[in-house]
Amino acid sequence: MNSTNRHPYKADILVVDDTQENLSFLSSMLAQQGYDVRIAINGEMGLLAATTVVPDLILLDIMMPGIDGYEVCRRLKTAAETASVPIIFLSALSSSFDKVQAFTAGGVDYITKPFQVEEVLARIQNQLNLRAALQEVVKLNNALERRVEERTQQLEAAHMRLLEVALRDTLTGLPNRIFFLKHLQAALERAKTEAGYSFAVLFLDCDRFKIVNNSFGHPVGDKLLCDAARRLETCLEPQHSIARLGGDEFAILLSGIKSYTDAIAVAERLLQSFAQPFEVLGLDVFISASIGIVLSDRGYEQPEHMLRDADTAMYQAKAQGKDCYQIFEPAMHANAIQFFEIERDLRAAIAGNALEQFIVRYQPIVSLATGKIAGFEALVRWQHPTRGLVSPVEFIHVAEETSLIGPIGYWVLQESCRQLRAWQEGGFADASISVSVNLSARQFAQPNLIDKIDSILEKTHLSPKNLKLEITESAIMENPQTASTILKQLRARKIQLSIDDFGTGYSSLSYLHAFPVDTLKIDKSFVQRLDNNSKSLGLIPAMISIARTMKMDVVAEGIETPQQLALLRELDCDFSQGYLFAPPLEVDKAVDFMLVSPEW
Ligand code: C2E
Ligand code: MG
Ligand code: MG
């Protein structure tokens, strides 16, 4: 840095002149005024002096031997370090001084000889003041630029933080759905342009997460999700990426995957990573996952479509019994469409008050102690205008997911109560015969359930003692608090309660113990395994003994063979239901069954 900070009267002035007389006059006069003065006796020396130590101002003679003043000025103006030094030309009034050339060369002013002291000083001081002002402006400008740069950096950092929030899931720290879809879009484009590049998308949904979340509370659920996210990450390689889509759903992009075999290998690793329990509040909690897989070779244009198909396949994995993976097939898409058609037709049936499209069949439940009928299970069917008789397996889940189950479920309840009462009044059913009606988890969660049941019993005049309700374990576990209140209210009315499909879901027996339940229904899948190897009784003895300790009785479902019946009798099972006795029967056939009253 040169003398920019120097006070003007201490400014460094270079005088370039080949006339000794001028040099001594100017230098002594300027020195007297307090300036630092240096001198050069020709153009070359002037250039050297100016570039060695850059002066604050130069007084430059025009006519000199060698390089003349104009040329010296041009050179100084083109060199970066001296370009801003003000140059005042010195010229004899008589000489051929060319003002235009002087200013074009870059001079700022000129002084004519003979010199007048006041004029020389005034012109020099003017230029020094101008230069000082200019330097101040440059300084301010630099400071401003630095501040602008700082602000820009701060803004950029803020922008990055915002992006981070917009694209990241704050709970697990993983990328979110928006980020994943962008990433997926880029992968699809790459697959289009780069021959041989393909990838897979995995859609993963945690099974039973909702139960944990509702039973243990949301902070525990959050911790579980974070732990699960970390575990899933460890199964992936650096080129793969994982995002949390929301809730307990994750999406994984497997970059460079060529075949389903490779994608399946990763899916299996992911499933396996959940095999060990998660520690929650010092408890070991087991959850599993369902995964849908789709490969990029289906010519997808939109990332949303690829993710949708992976989701559909995941749904299929859930339907297959969870804790497994499924590869997307176009037929699944057809199933999804069928779902919407069923929903549409269910809505139409209910809206048109055409509940007459629904039918109840009654399947006998036999007491193994007496060999006589103990009751019926009411099972709904749908007489669809074009599809024919539709099984509940095909439409109940649609009704549950679309909350159409409410009206259907209450209609079945009312119809079954009315029917049993009619049989009692007709003298076909005695007071020991009950009717069991299935309640879906969705209905179970409805706040006016008890009022509805009360009003149906009142309307049909059926004694609450003759009514049993069947619910699944998960209906209780998904809403433990509500369940507890509802079950107590049911018990107060002497309505009985069965746990349906026992053993297929989330069996949390220690939990179940706290609820007033009368009956366990062992799922038919356990009974059907009895025949494969009648030596192995599977879990049935354990389930029966659990029921005994909890003072519940046991119904075995799906008895199809006399051998199964014999084994269950030996195991001291209380009741049985199955095709061996009768399939779900139409009303007339059910009456026949009671009249004939076969003994088993
Ligand atoms: P669930 O409550 O476990 O009913 C027993 C199912 O097993 C019935 O199927 C019955 O027909 C079948 N079954 C009975 N004996 C045998 C046998 O020996 N072998 C075999 N393989 N199967 C047998 P269905 O009627 O198709 O009903 C299926 C499911 O639909 C029911 O399972 C129940 O969960 C649901 N469901 C039926 N009606 C209703 C209803 O009114 N409301 C609700 N929420 N769900 C219902
Ligand atoms: Mg049932
Ligand atoms: Mg069942």
For ligand 1, whether the C-beta of 584 sits within 6 Å is yes
In whole angstroms, give the CA distance from residue 383 to residue 220.
Answer: 45
**From the CA of 470, how far away is ligand 3's center (Å)?**
8
The predicted model gives 492-519 an average pLDDT of 83
Q: Is the CB of 434 inside a 6 Å radius of any atom of ligand 1?
A: no
313: Cα within 13 Å, side-chain hemisphere:
25
> Minimum-distance ligand to the CA of 585?
1
The per-residue pLDDT for range 102-138, each reduced to its tens digit, is 999 999 999 988 899 999 999 999 999 999 998 899 9
* Cα 331 to Cα 369: distance, rounded to the nearest angstrom: 48
Q: How far is the CA of 500 from the centre of ligand 2 (A)?
A: 5
Average pLDDT score over residue span 194-218: 91
Ligand 1 neighbour 474 (Cβ under 6 A):
no
Q: 576 - beta bridge partners?
A: 366, 556
CB-ligand 1 contact for 523 (6 Å cutoff): no
Residue nearest to atom 41 of ligand 1 (CA): 380
Which atom number of ligand 1 is nearest to the Cα of residue 381?
38
Distance CA 133, CA 564 (A): 107
| Local confidence band at 515 (pLDDT 50, 70, 90 cut-offs) | confident
pLDDT value, residue 505: 67
The letter for the amino acid at 154 is Q
> Ligand 3 centroid vs 523 CA: distance in angstroms?
5
- Antiparallel, parallel or unpaired: β 288-295 and 57-61: unpaired
- Return the closest-CA partner of residue 37 out of 21, 25, 51: 25
For the Cβ of 578 lying below 6 angstroms from any atom of ligand 1, the answer is yes
What pLDDT was estimated at residue 532?
57
pLDDT band per the 50, 70, 90 thresholds, residue 354: low
Residues with CB under 5 A from ligand 3 (ion): 500-501
pLDDT in tens, 153-205: 999 888 888 887 889 999 999 999 999 999 999 999 999 999 999 999 999 99
Q: How far is CA 463 from CA 63, 367, 375, 417, 459, in A?
A: 130, 21, 14, 9, 11
Q: With a 6 A CB cut-off, is 360 part of the ligand 1 pocket?
A: no
The Å distance, Cα 285 to ligand 3 centre, comes to 26
The pLDDT tens digits of the residues spanning 222-280 come to 999 999 999 999 999 999 999 999 999 999 999 999 899 999 999 999 999 999 999 98
pLDDT tens string 386-419: 999 999 999 999 999 888 999 999 999 999 999 9
Read off the pLDDT of residues 10-44 as tens digits, 9 standing for 90 and up: 899 999 999 999 999 999 999 999 999 999 999 99
Range with the poorest average pLDDT among 352-356, 396-400, 427-431, 562-566? 352-356
Give, for ligand 1, the residue of 415, 438, 444 to mutate: max count of ligand atoms closer than 8 Å to Cβ: 438
Global pTM reads 0.62
Cβ 442 under 6 angstroms from ligand 1: no
